[in-house]
């Protein structure tokens, strides 16, 4: 029998990242679609003032949950791939040292929020249900924390499809469904926020069930953590605790400061614009959850060249899929905002500003993930702190005079600052170049094709929905025409090959 050549280690890693990345992208697409549905439901059902209150309280619980997670979720993503799974392994010992401190802190924050609900509501919200909203948000913090930490354990122990099924499918699909049900039942902002929280309870139960078997829980795996476990894990997680809170609050800081320094309606406009800007990051998020454990394993084994190959391939897909979307978002901002109603038309310029900043964000790829999975959580913290400080200072200067536009400019400055610093540090961590000729040429081609189509759409039909339709039609036609090029067909064939399981090596007879 003829031996079938097994792929080399580098090819296997690229194949693995391609397959998991494809699953992550599908999940990200669904997540993004239903995230848009959720935003549309919120702004249509509650208007600028009501959506401003709802987005503000979502921002509060998001920031509080990120702070209480204390970096433990990323810590599990980094540490578990470097441990042994199963009943005889040592990975299970990480679970209690990640869950117990974070959940305990979440309970303390929840209690403080319940006691201070009135003053917080008067400072941030104009809604008559403001105090009740703050109380519900406080009660939801432990749920957010437990779900986030356990889902990180799922991602580190299971295939990416298990994580995608819960985080990218179940939660985002259930939220708009429950919120629509709340509106049809005659509920207000309070009941709507309950619809946003409830899917996390189902996600928590599923996460618990999914981690039992791979960690060997109940089958003999030890849950007793030693001093070395605590020192190693929290030595990584504590710097991440601050940076993850900053990551989670990057947009919400602008929303809260806009509500405090301008008006709640302006905060609603900025929140709606920000949701569009963040939607484009779902592609990067889908690929991040797919390859983060792989990068941790490769960097932990000092296989930096293989890690760099995975990073460059992932960055190429991020740029090719995200840059055209952000260029279209910048050009046709009025068209996208028409879907929210007339109250949100003033957000066109802020959206264009943020879309340009996001080109930098996605253009450098997964530099933050490289930093974290290399163990350099302190470097990541440095980059995020610099970005946040610039964002806050610019908000204080610009929001009082420019409202949502000032918040967008401030956030954009923070985004660029953080990503440039992170890229410099990631280059040192990898010891390899971040970008190659293929990425530069591909990005240039994507910009040229999208720019030509968008320019034609604007000239023929303007920046509204008709112009957007023309642009999308031209891009679809160009994509079909590209299939005639043999190089494009060869690239697609290579991708299909990489999506298949790697062939096993046969023993010659």
SS (H, E, C) 263-280: CHHHHHHHHHHHHHHHHC
Q: Which residues of the chain have pLDDT under 50?
A: 1-7, 498-499, 501-509
Q: Is residue 339 part of a domain?
A: yes
Q: How far apart are the first and last CA of the chain?
A: 5
Domain that holds residue 260: 12-435
Token pair 């959580």: residue: 377
CA angle 373, 321, 168 (to 5 degrees): 60
For residue 34, what pLDDT is reported? 85
Distances (CA, A) of 400 to 124, 257, 397: 15, 9, 7
b/e per residue 101-127 (b: at least 16 CB within 10 A)? bbbebbeebbeebeeebeebbeebbbb
Task: Give the integer Cα–Cα distance in Å for 316 and 321.
Answer: 9
Q: Which two tokens stand for residue 256?
A: 């809260």
Q: Is residue 94 part of a domain?
A: yes
Q: Is residue 492 part of a domain?
A: no
Q: Is residue 147 part of a domain?
A: yes
For residue 81, what pLDDT is reported? 84
Q: Is residue 244 part of a domain?
A: yes
Q: Is residue 120 part of a domain?
A: yes
State how far Cα 291 lies from the chain centre: 14
Task: Give the integer Cα–Cα distance in Å for 21 and 387.
Answer: 28
Rg over CA atoms, the chain: 23
Token pair 């959206």: residue: 351
For residue 6, what pLDDT is reported? 43
Counting the structural domains of the chain, the total is 1
For residue 15, what pLDDT is reported? 60
Q: Is residue 334 part of a domain?
A: yes
Task: Give the integer Cα–Cα distance in Å for 415 and 261.
Answer: 21
Cβ contacts of 351 within 8 Å, gap of 6 or more: 273, 276, 277, 329, 330, 333, 336, 337, 408
Do residues 41 and 180 lie in contact, with contact meaning Cβ atoms separated by under 8 Å?
Answer: yes
Distances (CA, A) of 355 to 35, 106, 223, 411, 412: 17, 34, 46, 11, 9
Other CB atoms closer than 10 Å to residue 97's CB: what's the count?
23
DSSP assigned state of 90: S
For residue 487, what pLDDT is reported? 66
Do residues 192 and 56 lie in contact, with contact meaning Cβ atoms separated by under 8 Å?
Answer: no
Q: Is residue 380 part of a domain?
A: yes
Instruction: Residue 434: name the closest of 307, 317, 308 by CA.
Output: 308
For residue 472, what pLDDT is reported? 92
Task: Give the integer Cα–Cα distance in Å for 163 and 160.
Answer: 5
Q: Which two tokens stand for residue 194?
A: 């309950």
Cβ contacts of 8 within 8 Å, gap of 6 or more: none
For residue 62, what pLDDT is reported? 84
Other CB atoms closer than 10 Å to residue 48's CB: what's the count?
22
Q: Which two tokens stand for residue 468?
A: 């957007």
Helix, strand, coil % (nearest 5) of the chain? 85, 0, 15
DSSP assigned state of 464: S
pTM of the model: 0.69
Do residues 150 and 204 lie in contact, with contact meaning Cβ atoms separated by under 8 Å?
Answer: yes
Distances (CA, A) of 5 to 269, 499, 501: 57, 18, 14
Cite the beta strand spans of 143-286 per DSSP E. none
Task: Give the integer Cα–Cα distance in Å for 314 and 141.
Answer: 33
For residue 91, what pLDDT is reported? 85
Angular region, 23: left φ>0, alpha ψ -120 to 50, beta rest:
alpha
């Amino acid at each position: 029998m003829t031996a079938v050549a097994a792929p080399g280690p580098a090819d296997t890693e690229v194949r693995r990242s391609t397959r998991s990345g494809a699953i992550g992208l599908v999940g990200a697409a669904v997540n993004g679609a239903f995230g848009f549905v959720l935003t549309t439901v919120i702004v249509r059902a509650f208007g600028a003032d009501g959506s401003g209150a709802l987005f503000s309280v979502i921002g509060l619980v998001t920031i509080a949950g990120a702070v209480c997670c204390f970096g433990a979720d990323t810590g599990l993503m980094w540490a578990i791939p470097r441990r042994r799974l199963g009943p005889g392994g040592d990975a299970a010992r990480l679970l209690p040292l990640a869950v117990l401190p974070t959940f305990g802190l979440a309970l303390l924050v929840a209690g403080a929020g319940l006691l201070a609900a009135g003053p917080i509501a008067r400072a941030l919200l104009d809604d008559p249900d403001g105090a009740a909203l703050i109380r519900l948000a406080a009660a939801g913090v432990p749920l957010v924390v437990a779900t986030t930490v356990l889902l990180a354990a799922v991602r580190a122990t299971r295939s990416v499809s298990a994580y995608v099924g819960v985080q990218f499918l179940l939660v985002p699909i259930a939220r708009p469904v429950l919120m629509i049900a709340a509106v049809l039942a005659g509920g207000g902002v309070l009941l709507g926020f309950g619809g946003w929280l409830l899917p996390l309870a189902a996600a928590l139960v599923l996460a618990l069930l999914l981690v039992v078997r791979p960690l060997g829980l109940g089958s003999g795996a030890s849950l007793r953590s030693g001093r070395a476990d605590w020192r190693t894990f929290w030595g990584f997680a504590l710097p991440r605790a601050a940076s993850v809170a900053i990551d989670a609050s990057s947009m919400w800081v602008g929303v809260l400061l806009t509500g405090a320094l301008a008006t709640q309606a302006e905060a609603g406009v900025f929140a709606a614009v920000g949701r569009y800007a963040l939607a484009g990051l779902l592609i990067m998020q889908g690929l991040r959850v797919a390859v983060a454990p792989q990068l941790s394993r490769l960097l932990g084994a000092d296989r930096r060249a293989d890690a760099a190959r995975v990073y460059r391939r992932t960055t190429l897909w991020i740029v090719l899929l995200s840059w055209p979307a952000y260029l279209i978002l910048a050009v046709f901002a009025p068209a996208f905002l028409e879907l929210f109603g007339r109250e949100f038309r003033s957000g066109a310029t802020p959206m264009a500003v943020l879309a340009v900043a996001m080109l930098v964000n996605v253009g450098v790829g997964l530099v933050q993930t490289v930093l974290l999975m290399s163990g350099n959580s302190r470097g990541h913290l440095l980059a995020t702190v610099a970005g946040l400080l610039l964002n806050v200072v610019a908000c204080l200067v610009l929001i009082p005079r420019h409202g949502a536009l000032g918040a967008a400019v401030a956030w954009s400055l923070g985004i660029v600052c953080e990503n440039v610093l992170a890229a410099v540090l990631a280059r040192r961590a990898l010891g390899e170049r971040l970008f190659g000729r293929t990425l530069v040429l591909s990005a240039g081609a994507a910009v040229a094709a999208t720019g030509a189509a968008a320019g034609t759409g604007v000239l023929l039909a303007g920046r509204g929905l008709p112009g957007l339709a023309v642009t999308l039609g031209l891009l679809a036609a160009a994509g079909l025409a590209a299939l005639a090029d043999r190089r494009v067909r060869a690239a697609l064939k290579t991708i299909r090959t990489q999506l298949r399981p790697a062939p096993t090596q046969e023993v010659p007879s």
